[in-house]
């Protein structure tokens, strides 16, 4: 019912960084958290207090203390240092999946929205891929390859691409039906020019928003795969691996699970908040979907 | 209506066909020798050849495909590499706990999330709304297994209110059955609940702006009638859509939840099969889970006609 | 008027909080509605007439707006003091309202019959079966053919004019004392407009319901109302019986509105041209800043320093015709 105020005459609004943050605190919070995590991952060797790989059976399962801030695991490795290094795996997987699946999704989505001939074919494949729950799809791909960071990234990209394709294709189709595009086509504008001038800029906002969600989802899937023992190689300090290895001793050493778990949750939260904030800012129509 | 349902049923066939083709060619066209990968790193040549024979990978691709599809159409999902048991039988043994877990989660999550979302929209921007949405955002970011361990730590280890792990079938008595499902259902359901509560709130907020809600208020109708009939019925299509989409979350979540809580269901079967690289089982489970998802989508599509009289088929 | 007034609005102030400050949508408006009369409230969009209507029913969304000051008395009861529950039993029963958009004001997923009958069930303490009979009776009354079948139809199966008839049927289903109609015909075709207005007047004669007709259309006002309140920028500027207003508009704003109506009764001159329609120059003032003096001063060709400095009081021109303008010479 806020409609009522719409026909009242209002003075133009002022914009500044501060009002921007105040009106959209989620972007600010998400971005700051994410920046801190990236700094942590980049400077992991400087921040870590111990060698994350060093096994020391004498010190196994020590609770958090001044010497081992987050305690030690069943091999006597320092959980704090491993957690700091774990940020690297999560961020590498999250960012590379987001970037690559956005690029692939953008290309396929534009192609589908643009060329009727391939649309039906590609979209049937996308529907099929989307029918498979993403963790299962990733697991199936991993079953058939030797473990490694690369295959994990590929295995997560495959189920994420269709989601991006759908978003991009929907935008392209809606733009195509706009009168100004129809008249541009009728006026003989070349396909390439049309793409670059009209279609690409319009897909950008939903694409950025979608890719933040893909990033969050990728981090969760990576951790889940590692947790199930089907992710990055066991010795790699990833949050999923730390938790997975801690599960046997969970009842006596809960810190091996709760601390990396909290880091994972906060990271995903930060990315989600950034996505929500960007969505509200860039693409209010999309805001309705979630 | 019936015509629409039949047409819609036929429309699911290409999707399932793509899924089937995908799992078939994934194995056959994987880089490297799939038989060697499945047999494991330190397998002997004989072991690799045995795997190759068992999967029929030594035959021409076309023959493999025809045999596989023919078997599939008869409901034969192949034989496990390690146990030599038919995949369908292995699944049948494991299906009960998974159904119990997903259904209880589904029912509890939906029946809690919708009222929560409605209240949040009704009290939009008030304290209740902020608290609820805060939890929804947190719940959405919380990995299932982390939440599961937090729950176990407090409810089972610290306060000893509920069992740490394990599953009790209904035949073991109602309370042990329910008790064994509480923590897994909560762990599995929180993300799903967060998703449904958020879409309910968003959809309700949009509907509450509409002119017909103002009309309903101008008639002096009771608040519950305005919210639960006039608004919620209009808001229902996106909510039902998300309940359907979220089934995928539940299926992915089941794989993890059953591992954490040591529940012998289809999720555990999946993980065990992956770790042993028992591809026929993985392949069968993908087909079954994708089938469930497709059927749920079908039901959701059909339900739209009952929720919105403007939709006619 | 005072004795027979069923609704008395006094010094009403309704404000909205926006990101840009407090909007004074209604800024000190007073008027009476007598039993069974038709009062027109006229003004440009954004002058606060709809907000006035919503304020009477206390339907201003509490998150953004509030009645800041003033009194609204209905049958002697102060509405601003009633609890929300008491207001609810009044709405749709003693005072009902119909809205501008017949296309969106009916609930798309409930049948027409349900939407009329629920109002009757809510206020008349009858069974659903009886309420349904009443709903059918009301559809007959607003001349919807084949009422029995229409009860089970959904709004999207009806035309715009039919939907507005349904709205009227719904609003009158509990025999209200006052019907507030906010631009009820604006969204309709011209021919349908006339039918709907005729129907409203006819039903008013039959039921004795007072009508507050809110419109920007002086033609509608001339045809249907008995008395008129002219609003500008959240304030009342002139009030008069309808004939007096059209014969002798006093406020410069009212005169401006009159000049903006196309007229067919003025003879074309020798060259076949009619006098040009005149617009009122300038824009409605920004309502986030308090307006000192006369709200219309900035657009008024007669404005003096006094107009810009001091709010003009209402002066009585006789016969119930009052106006707030320093420059009117009586």
- The answer to whether residue C307 sits within a structural domain is no
- For residue C329, how many C-alpha atoms fall within 13 Å in the half-sphere facing its CB? 1
Q: What would the two tokens of residue A258 be?
A: 């709760």
Longest dimension (CA), chain C: 68
Average pLDDT value for residue range A95-107: 95
pLDDT of residue B90: 95
Chain B positions touching A251 (Cβ under 8 A) are 157, 164
Q: Yes or no: say if C289 and C302 are a contact pair by the CB < 8 Å rule.
A: no
Residues 6+ apart with CB under 8 A from B224: none
Q: Which has the higher per-residue pLDDT, B78 or C288?
A: B78
Chain B positions touching C87 (Cβ under 8 A) are 220
pLDDT of residue C273: 63
The domain made up of A78-287 has a fold known as MetI-like fold (1.10.3720)
Please tell me the distance from the alpha carbon of residue B291 to that of residue B91, in angstroms, as a whole number.
14
User: Can you give the residue ranges of every domain in chain A?
Assistant: 78-287
Check if C19 contacts A (Cβ < 8 Å): yes
User: In this structure, is the dihedral angle defined by the CA atoms of residues A249, A251, A255 and A259, taken in order, positive or negative?
Assistant: positive
C-alpha angle B121-C116-C148 in degrees, rounded to nearest 5: 135
B294 to chain A: closest CA residue: A131
Longest dimension (CA), chain A: 78
Q: Is the pLDDT of residue A76 over 80?
A: no
- C156 and C213 both lie in a single domain: no
CATH number at B93-308: 1.10.3720.10
Check if C95 contacts A (Cβ < 8 Å): no
Give how many domains chain C has, as a whole number.
2
Coil, strand or helix at A247: helix
pLDDT of residue A17: 59
- C25 and C69 both lie in a single domain: yes
Coil, strand or helix at C299: helix
Q: Which of C63, C96, C101 sits opposite B211 (nearest CB)?
A: C101
- C81 and C115 both lie in a single domain: no
Q: Is the pLDDT of residue A254 over 90?
A: no
- C170 and C36 both lie in a single domain: no
Residues 6+ apart with CB under 8 A from B293: A131, A132, A133, B247, B248, B251
- The answer to whether residue C117 sits within a structural domain is yes
- Predicted model pTM: 0.85
- C146 and C220 both lie in a single domain: no
pLDDT of residue A215: 94
Q: What would the two tokens of residue A15 be?
A: 């914009």
- C181 and C161 both lie in a single domain: no
- C14 and C76 both lie in a single domain: yes
Q: Is the pLDDT of residue B236 over 80?
A: yes
Last residue in a domain, options C124, C147, C175: C175
Please tell me the distance from the alpha carbon of residue B253 to that of residue B273, in angstroms, as a whole number.
17
Q: Is the pLDDT of residue B276 over 90?
A: no
- The answer to whether residue C218 sits within a structural domain is yes
CATH of the domain at C72: 3.40.50.300
Residue in B104, B267, B121 with CA at minimum distance from that of residue B205: B121
Q: Pairing between strand C5-18 and C21-34?
A: antiparallel
* Chains with 3 or more CB pairs under 8 A to chain A: B, C
DSSP class per residue in A88-145: HHHHHHHHHHHHHHHHHHHHHHHHHHH-HHHHHHHHHHHHHHHHS-HHHHHHHHHHTS
Closest approach of chain B CAs to the CA of A217, in angstroms? 9
**Domain assignment of residue C207, given as a range:** 1-94+176-264+275-281+318-324
Q: Is the pLDDT of residue A28 over 90?
A: no
- The answer to whether residue C299 sits within a structural domain is no
What percentage of chain B has pLDDT greater than the value 90? Answer: 54
Q: Is the pLDDT of residue B144 over 70?
A: yes
Q: Which of A4, A7, A13 sits opposite C20 (nearest CB)?
A: A13
- Per-residue pLDDT reduced to its tens digit, A187-227: 777 777 777 777 888 888 889 889 999 999 999 999 999 99
Q: Is the pLDDT of residue A45 over 60?
A: yes
pLDDT of residue A5: 37
If one counts every other C-beta atom within 10 angstroms of the C-beta of residue A35, the result is: 11
- C64 and C201 both lie in a single domain: yes
Q: Is the pLDDT of residue B54 over 90?
A: no
- A139 and B274 in contact by Cβ < 8 A? yes
pLDDT of residue B285: 93
Q: Is the pLDDT of residue A287 over 60?
A: no
Q: Is the pLDDT of residue B184 over 50?
A: yes
Closest approach of chain B CAs to the CA of C44, in angstroms? 21
Coil, strand or helix at C16: strand
User: Can you give the residue ranges of every domain in chain B?
Assistant: 2-73, 93-308
- C83 and C35 both lie in a single domain: yes
B213 to chain A: closest CA residue: A1
Q: How confident is the model at residue A6 (pLDDT cuts 50, 70, 90)?
A: very low
ipTM: 0.87
- Per-residue pLDDT reduced to its tens digit, C179-212: 999 999 888 888 888 888 999 999 998 889 999 9
Q: How confident is the model at residue C68 (pLDDT cuts 50, 70, 90)?
A: very high
- For residue B161, how many C-alpha atoms fall within 13 Å in the half-sphere facing its CB? 10
Taking phi over 0 as left and psi of -120 to 50 as alpha, with beta for the rest, C37 belongs to: beta
pLDDT of residue C80: 93
- C163 and C186 both lie in a single domain: no
């Amino acid at each position: 019912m806020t409609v009522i105020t719409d026909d009242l005459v209002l003075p133009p609004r002022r914009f500044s960084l501060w009002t921007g943050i105040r009106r959209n605190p989620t972007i600010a919070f998400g971005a700051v958290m994410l920046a801190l995590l990236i700094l942590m991952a980049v400077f992991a060797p400087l921040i870590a207090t111990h060698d994350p790989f060093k096994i020391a059976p004498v010190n196994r399962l020590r609770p958090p203390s001044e010497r081992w801030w987050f305690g030690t695991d069943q091999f006597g490795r320092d959980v704090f240092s491993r957690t700091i290094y774990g940020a690297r795996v999560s961020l590498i997987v999250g960012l590379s999946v987001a970037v690559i699946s956005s690029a692939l999704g953008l290309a396929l989505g534009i192609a589908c929205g643009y060329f009727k001939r391939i649309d039906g074919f590609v979209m049937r494949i996308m529907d099929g891929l989307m029918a498979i729950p993403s963790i299962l799809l990733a697991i199936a791909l991993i079953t058939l390859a030797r473990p490694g960071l690369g295959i994990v990234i590929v295995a997560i990209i495959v189920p994420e691409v269709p989601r991006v394709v759908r978003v991009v294709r929907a935008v392209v189709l809606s733009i195509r039906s706009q009168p100004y595009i129809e008249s541009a086509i009728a006026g003989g504008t070349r396909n390439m020019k049309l793409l670059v001038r009209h279609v690409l800029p319009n897909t950008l906002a939903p694409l950025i928003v979608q890719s933040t969600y893909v990033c969050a989802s990728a981090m969760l899937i990576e951790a889940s795969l590692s947790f199930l023992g089907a992710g990055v190689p066991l010795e790699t300090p990833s949050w999923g691996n730390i938790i997975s290895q801690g599960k046997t001793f969970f009842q006596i050493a809960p810190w091996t699970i709760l601390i990396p778990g909290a880091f994972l949750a906060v990271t995903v939260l930060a990315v989600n908040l950034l996505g929500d904030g960007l969505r509200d800012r860039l693409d209010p129509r999309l805001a309705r979907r979630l | 209506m019936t015509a629409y349902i039949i047409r819609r049923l036929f429309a699911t066939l290409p999707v399932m066909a793509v899924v089937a083709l995908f799992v078939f060619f994934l194995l056959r066209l994987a880089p490297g020798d799939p038989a060697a990968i499945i047999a494991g790193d330190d397998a002997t040549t004989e072991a690799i050849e045995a795997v190759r024979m068992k999967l029929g990978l030594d035959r021409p691709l076309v023959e493999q495909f025809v045999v596989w599809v023919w078997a599939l159409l008869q409901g034969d999902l192949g034989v496990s590499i390690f146990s030599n048991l038919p995949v369908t039988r292995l699944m049948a043994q494991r299906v009960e706990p998974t159904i119990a877990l997903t259904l209880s989660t589904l029912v509890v999550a939906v029946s809690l999330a919708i009222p929560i979302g409605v209240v949040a929209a009704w009290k939009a921007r008030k304290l209740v709304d902020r608290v609820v949405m805060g939890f929804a955002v947190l719940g959405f970011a919380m990995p299932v297994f982390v939440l599961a361990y937090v729950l176990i730590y407090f409810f089972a280890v610290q306060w000893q209110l509920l069992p740490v792990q394990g599953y009790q079938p209904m035949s073991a008595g109602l309370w042990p059955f329910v008790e064994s499902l509480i923590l897994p259902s909560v762990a599995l359901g929180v993300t799903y609940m967060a998703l449904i509560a958020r879409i309910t709130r968003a959809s309700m907020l949009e509907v509450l702006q509409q002119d017909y809600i103002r009309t309903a208020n101008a008639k002096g109708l009771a608040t519950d009638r305005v919210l639960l009939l006039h608004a919620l019925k209009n808001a229902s299509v996106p909510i039902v859509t998300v309940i359907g989409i979220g089934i995928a979350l539940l299926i992915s979540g089941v794989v993890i939840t059953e591992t954490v809580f040591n529940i012998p269901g289809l999720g555990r079967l999946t993980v065990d099969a992956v770790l042993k690289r028992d591809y026929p089982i993985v392949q069968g489970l993908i087909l079954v889970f994708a089938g469930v998802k497709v059927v749920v989508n079908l039901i959701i599509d059909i339900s739209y006609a009952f929720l919105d009289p403007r939709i006619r088929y | 008027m005072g004795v027979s007034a069923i609704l008395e609005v006094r010094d009403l102030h309704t404000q909205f909080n926006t990101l840009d400050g407090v909007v004074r949508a209604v800024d000190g408006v007073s008027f009476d509605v007598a039993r069974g009369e038709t009062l027109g409230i006229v003004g440009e969009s954004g002058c606060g007439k709809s907000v006035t209507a919503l304020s009477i029913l206390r339907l201003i969304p509490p998150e953004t707006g509030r009645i800041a000051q003033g009194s609204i008395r209905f049958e002697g009861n102060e509405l601003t003091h009633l609890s929300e529950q008491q207001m609810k039993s009044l709405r749709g029963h003693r005072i009902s309202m119909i809205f501008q958009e017949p296309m969106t004001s009916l609930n798309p997923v409930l049948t027409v019959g349900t939407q009329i009958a629920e109002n009757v069930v809510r206020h008349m303490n009858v069974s659903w079966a009886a309420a349904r009979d009443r709903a059918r009776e009301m559809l007959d009354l607003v001349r919807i053919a084949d009422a029995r079948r229409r009860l089970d139809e959904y709004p999207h199966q009806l035309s715009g004019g039919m939907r507005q008839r349904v709205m009227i049927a719904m609003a009158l289903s509990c025999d209200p004392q006052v019907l507030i109609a906010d631009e009820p015909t604006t969204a309709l075709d011209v021919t349908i407009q006339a039918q709907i207005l005729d129907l409203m007047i006819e039903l008013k004669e039959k039921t004795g319901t007072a009508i507050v007709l809110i419109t920007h259309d002086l033609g509608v006002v001339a045809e249907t109302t008995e008395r008129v309140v002219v609003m500008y920028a959240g304030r009342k500027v002139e009030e008069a019986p309808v004939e007096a207003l059209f014969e002798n508009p006093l406020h410069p704003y009212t005169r401006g509105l009159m000049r903006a109506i196309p007229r067919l009764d003025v003879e074309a001159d020798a060259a076949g041209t009619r006098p040009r329609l005149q617009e009122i120059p300038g824009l409605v003032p920004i309502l986030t800043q308090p307006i000192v003096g006369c709200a219309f001063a900035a657009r008024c060709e007669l404005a003096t320093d006094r107009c810009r400095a001091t709010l003009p009081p209402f002066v009585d021109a006789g016969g119930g015709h009052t106006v707030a303008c320093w420059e009117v010479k009586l």
